[in-house]
Chains A and B, each alone.
Chain A
Amino acid sequence: NAGVTQTPKFRVLKTGQSMTLLCAQDMNHEYMYWYRQDPGMGLRLIHYSVGEGTTAKGEVPDGYNVSRLKKQNFLLGLESAAPSQTSVYFCASSQWDRGGETQYFGPGTRLLVL
Chain B
Amino acid sequence: GENVEQHPSTLSVQEGDSAVIKCTYSDSASNYFPWYKQELGKRPQLIIDIRSNVGEKKDQRIAVTLNKTAKHFSLHITETQPEDSAVYFCAASISDNAGNMLTFGGGTRLMVKP
Do chains A and B interact in one complex?
no
B residues whose Cβ falls under 8 Å from a Cβ of A = none
